[in-house]
Structure 1
Amino acid sequence: MARNKKARVSDDEEIEDQPQKTLYQVLGLEKTASQQEIKKAYYKLALRLHPDKNPGDEEAKEKFQQLQKVISILGDEEKRAIYDETGCIDDDDLAGDVQNLHEFFRTMYKKVTEADIEEFEANYRGSDSEKNDLVELYKKCKGNMTRLFCSMLCSDAKLDSHRFKDILDEAIAAGELKATKAYQKWAKEVSEIKPPTSPLRRRAKSNKQPETDLYAVIAQRRNERKGQFDSMFSSLVSKYGGGDMPEPSEEEFEAAQKKLEKGRSSKKSKQSKGNVMVVSFCGCTLAFFLMFNSNVTGLKQPFYL
């Protein structure tokens, strides 16, 4: 009996000693996560919890609402900075449910794939569900569109601003919403920007290779060109240059030097001429000056520059 009581006490102490889960842990992220990573994790969970996916499931609806609160903090740079500094959550209900949220979401991560997100996004964008969520978030954010985009599922300010403006303007004209100063300022800025040609297009993944792969391709092509050039150059040397040129003797060198000095001092000295062979290869132009004037150089074979 005493042993069982002691065991229960130990279990209670162990639970109390466990650190409180953070909002980042609720999303399965580190504190250093980027906004893109935060949104991606949020989408994965929202995909499973969205009311349209769980009709009549009150627990899923409640968790979805709590998830909205999590993203409203971590998705807002100012609120996130305050949370990172203080660890405080300006929502008593959410603060008490962080631990439960963490445990609840842990069972859902492995069920969601990239294909699931892409399929959900394709069906969600432009749907009535998106319109309803947009209207509700507008009310919650009081027309602050910067905060709205932080919480709005599958949204992209560059693609959706004009589309969202049309939806909200229609709701305002119908009396469903009230135009706030923040919204009017944002709407004016959006009106001055050219709208995208295909606002409902799915955001295509980048097909660009990583920089390291690009560098490898460039290096490979450079080596191929170098090998081709070396082969071409060797062929030219064997064809036009003959064998290795013998070094001139001292007598030949002195004779050549005297002739050069004599040529410089003479006003009527003939200018040495050479034949030029230009070879274009792989975008590079190579000029080989073949100087055959043995009267000037004193050499019996052509001299290559």
Structure 2
Amino acid sequence: MGRKKKSRVPSDDGEEEEGLQNENHGKLSEEKSLYELLGVEKTATQQEIKKAYHKLALQLHPDKNPDDEEAKEKFQQLQKVISILGDEEKRALYDQTGCVDDADLAGEVVQNLHEYFRAVYKKVTEADIEEFAANYRGSDSEKNDLFDLYKKCKGNMHRLFCSMICSDPKLDSHRFRDMIDEEIAAGRCI
């Protein structure tokens, strides 16, 4: 792989812009951010990103480098960069996680994702689950879920227990049967 050097690329307005280039059009560095690869700031607008992309694409296009496999590979990687930074949702996800796609989930990226989700979502403990189950049992939510599942499972209690949260056939079968019988006796549709 060729040595990295900064190159100056003339812009449309006559000024020179810095962009990362490798000698002989080497691979885009996986260690650099996508913004650095395009030679733009993280705060760049979509217009600035597209402008930087077009300049690099013109330099690296396979038609301009017909016998250069590295240029072809770098051009393909450039397509991946613009597919992420050119899409607002993908860009926002990249900005939050630093992750490009599932193939990149390794090492530090996994750790970063873990830290991100720990910051966003509280750790669930057994005590939290027990508290939820205690509040859920006998609640209107449980009754609604029971009746919905009873309909979906067409009365098959084995299937119902497989789908019903916070339930145990040994503990809840009589209680559930009583609730269902009550609903049927009251003439409500089950």
TM over 0.5: no
**Higher Cα Rg, which structure:** 1
Q: TM-score range by the shorter chain?
A: 0.3 to 0.5
